[in-house]
Amino acid sequence: MDVDTGTFLVQLLKIMWINILLSGDNAVVIALACRGLTADNRKWGIILGAGVAILLRILFTAVVTELMQLPFLKIIGGVLLLWIAVQLLIENADEKDIKESSNIWGAVRVIAVADLVMSLDNVVAIAAAAHGNWLLIIIGLGISIPLIVFGAQLVILMLEKWPWLVWAGAALLGWVAGELIADEHALTATFANLPSALVHFGMPALGAALVVIVGLILKNRHQTREVAS
């Protein structure tokens, strides 16, 4: 190890704090994806989803520096995150009888994809705090698993008590998608003549509104089909 124990611990604490600050959105994704599972399967869905998300985040860290140089990466990620948010609302309105094993792995898939998209800033921050020390990165991300799991379980309890929070959670994902798109370097020239506050608050607000509007439209269509049938 090329750092002394004190420096190592300080850097590890930085990584842990970054995860605490930036894992709230990930906990929402896990909670939304697992809310329809039975109590036993929900537990495993959360654990597996968080575990897969952390493994993917470690792999993502290895290539993030190169990926961030590609144009339009954040736009693609933002659009994908908008799609995921709407899909969560569709699943909430259209519950079907699916084998529970399929439910679990379906939830894990949603969690993994969403976490990968939402972890751009997280991964960059962790890599910077670790100064390229892979031991720090792996330990720090590994510690974040129980943090994310605990947060997801708390959010699930809230969703069960207040179902309208499902919509709030989906809107939050839309907000994050708007932030990703607003931060796209390829759009800097496009946004140059606009007030900074309008770009950095308007785009996230637009993303959140878009998710809610599309969700309401699809929910109404679903209810119309149910009445017709």
Tens of pLDDT, residue by residue over 78-87, are 888 888 788 8
Torsion over CA: 19, 20, 23, 25 (sign):
negative
**DSSP-based three-state secondary structure for 100:** helix
**DSSP-based three-state secondary structure for 76:** helix
Q: Give the pLDDT mean for 59-81.
A: 74
Rounded alpha-carbon distances, angstroms, from residue 123 to 9, 67, 83, 138: 19, 12, 22, 12
**DSSP-based three-state secondary structure for 93:** helix
CA distance linking residue 109 with residue 48, whole number of Å = 10
Q: Give the pLDDT mean for 170-190.
A: 84
**Confidence check: pLDDT of 205 > 80:** yes
Torsion over CA: 168, 173, 178, 182 (sign):
positive
Q: Where are the domains of the chain?
A: 5-228
CA distance linking residue 199 with residue 207, whole number of Å = 12
Tens of pLDDT, residue by residue over 111-121, are 777 777 666 66
pTM to 2 decimal places: 0.62
